[in-house]
Amino acid sequence: MLLKEETHILDIESIRADFPILSRRINNYPLVYFDNGATTQKPKQVVDAISHYYSNTNSNIHRGVHTLSREATEAFETARKTIASHFNIKNDQQIIFTAGTTDSLNILSNGLTQSVLRPGDEIILSSYEHHSNILTWQLWAERNSGKLKVIPLKDDHSLDYSALENLITPKTKLISVAHVSNTLGLITDLDKIKTLAKKHNLIVVIDGAQSAPHMKVDLEKLDVDFFVCSAHKIYGPTGTGILYMSDKWLKQLPTTKPGGGTIKTVTFEKTEYAEGALRFEPGTPNIEGVIGFATAINYLNRFGIEKIHQYETELVNYAQDKLAEIPEVIVYGKSKEKAAVISFNVKDTHPFDVGTLLDKYGIAVRTGHHCTQPLMNLLCVPGTVRISFGIYNTKSEIDFFIEKLKKVITMLK
């Protein structure tokens, strides 16, 4: 759905043609897909790369001498280089393939539990963390008499960084925060966090699940200990993601998920583990997923992530301005600096009702707690309606959504 007179810094019409699913009709309306925060749609280039892999190259990787195995290994390791280069990492071994953000955080917290975290230590999170970035640390805390501390929210729903330093004690070991809130779209001020972390010698973990799809992430410049994200939110396949770790941690973090591929030599008495990324990649990995992930990254880089960010910021501000004109709508975390996500509620209605009725017009939005129940408690709501944009969304779709939202509001009155 694109008006002819819409002009963009990107050729959205040809981008949309790359995503076969966008031509689907839902309930007799053209699909308006505003659920990109949950997962993005896949361009045909990604689908084709996976299909090509299975039709031509499928084989297990590493250790094989036959042609198919060597080709599959090369495709897998080239993907690692592509992804490392996208995040401006010179040593591609610092990119470890995992099953996604959640898996990366679990691998990481298990490794830190076995190495640097001690009983009674403290970990700092933010008020708007996804459950993935809460539960694994909470389990550690429960089992080790540890403590989780939380950066509070201000009245405008942004983080109160002025409260952060007071949370830090000699027992604080680590701070783990989302780069972008998956519910509010707010961008975390990582400079503030890193300055305090440096001063107090804290390990910094960045959950980039919602930043990597929408903005330039230069890991060399970011200079943090760990960064995690998922391919499926960046137009790649499900079941794949990365755990980036700094050079220091690549050497120090123990493997907690051993298996074939992670080793140099094994005897019944002792195992010597491999160096680099392989040490953290047990078993047969998601080969086609990794190849699809790199294809998605190459696809995005045809346009440039900075341009995508600029375009999506335009969409967010356009939608926020339109929502502000509807008196019944409450937007959470209103800011002009958002990464493609807006959460709102319609006064005196349940978000499920709004979402269900919007679906009747082919509009896919997410409703509920968005895996951020602690944030919902702070906002005093059971859930919100969340719209989240991707590279293929348009202002015409936002106009259509606003028109139908107004209709839904009158239906629910």
Ligand X SMILES: Cc1ncc(COP(=O)(O)O)c(C=O)c1O
Spell out a b/e string for 189-208, using b for 16 or more CB atoms within 10 Å of the CB, else e.
ebeebbebbeeeebbbbbbb
DSSP code at position 122: E
Q: Does position 102 bind ligand X by CB under 6 A?
A: yes
Rounded Cα–Cα distance for residues 109 and 206 (Å): 13
Rounded Cα–Cα distance for residues 88 and 96 (Å): 15
**Among 230, 262, 388, 394, interactor with ligand X by CB under 6 A:** 230
What is 31-94 written as a DSSP string?
-EE-BTTT-----HHHHHHHHHIIIII----SS--SHHHHHHHHHHHHHHHHHHHHTT-S-GGG
Tell me, by CB under 6 A, how many residues bind ligand X: 12
Rounded Cα–Cα distance for residues 170 and 298 (Å): 44
**Angle at alpha carbon of residue 263, lines to 53 and 276, rounded to 5°:** 75
239 vs 394, which CB is nearer to ligand X? 239
The answer to whether 11 and 265 are in contact (CB under 8 A) is: no
Q: Does position 205 bind ligand X by CB under 6 A?
A: no
Q: Does position 243 bind ligand X by CB under 6 A?
A: no
Q: Does position 210 bind ligand X by CB under 6 A?
A: yes
Q: Does position 209 bind ligand X by CB under 6 A?
A: yes
Q: Does position 375 bind ligand X by CB under 6 A?
A: no
177 vs 405, which CB is nearer to ligand X? 177
Contact set for ligand X, span 82-101 (CB under 6 A)? 100-101
Residue 412's φ and ψ, nearest 5 degrees, are: -90, -5
Contact set for ligand X, span 113-132 (CB under 6 A)? 130, 132
- Kindly write out the interface string for residues 171-200 of this chain, putting x where it contacts ligand X by CB under 6 A and - elsewhere: -------x---x------------------
What is 222-268 written as a DSSP string?
H--SEEEEEGGGTTS-TT-EEEEE-HHHHHHPPPSS--TTSEEEE-S
2 vs 190, which CB is nearer to ligand X? 190
The nearest distance, CB 199 to ligand X, in angstroms, is 26
343 vs 394, which CB is nearer to ligand X? 343
Q: Does position 286 bind ligand X by CB under 6 A?
A: no
Q: Please report, for residues 2, 51, 317, 345, the alpha-carbon distance to residue 21 in angstroms, rounded to integers and kept in the order given.
A: 16, 17, 26, 28
Q: Does position 234 bind ligand X by CB under 6 A?
A: no
Six token digits for residue 200: 């107090």
210 vs 394, which CB is nearer to ligand X? 210
Task: Report, as residue numbers or ranges, the catalytic residues.
Answer: 371
The nearest distance, CB 238 to ligand X, in angstroms, is 8
Binding span for ligand X by CB under 6 A among 60-68, 167-175, 205-213, 261-269: 205-213
The nearest distance, CB 412 to ligand X, in angstroms, is 27
The nearest distance, CB 213 to ligand X, in angstroms, is 10
Q: Interface with ligand X by CB under 6 A: which residues?
A: 100-102, 130, 132-133, 178, 182, 207, 209-210, 230
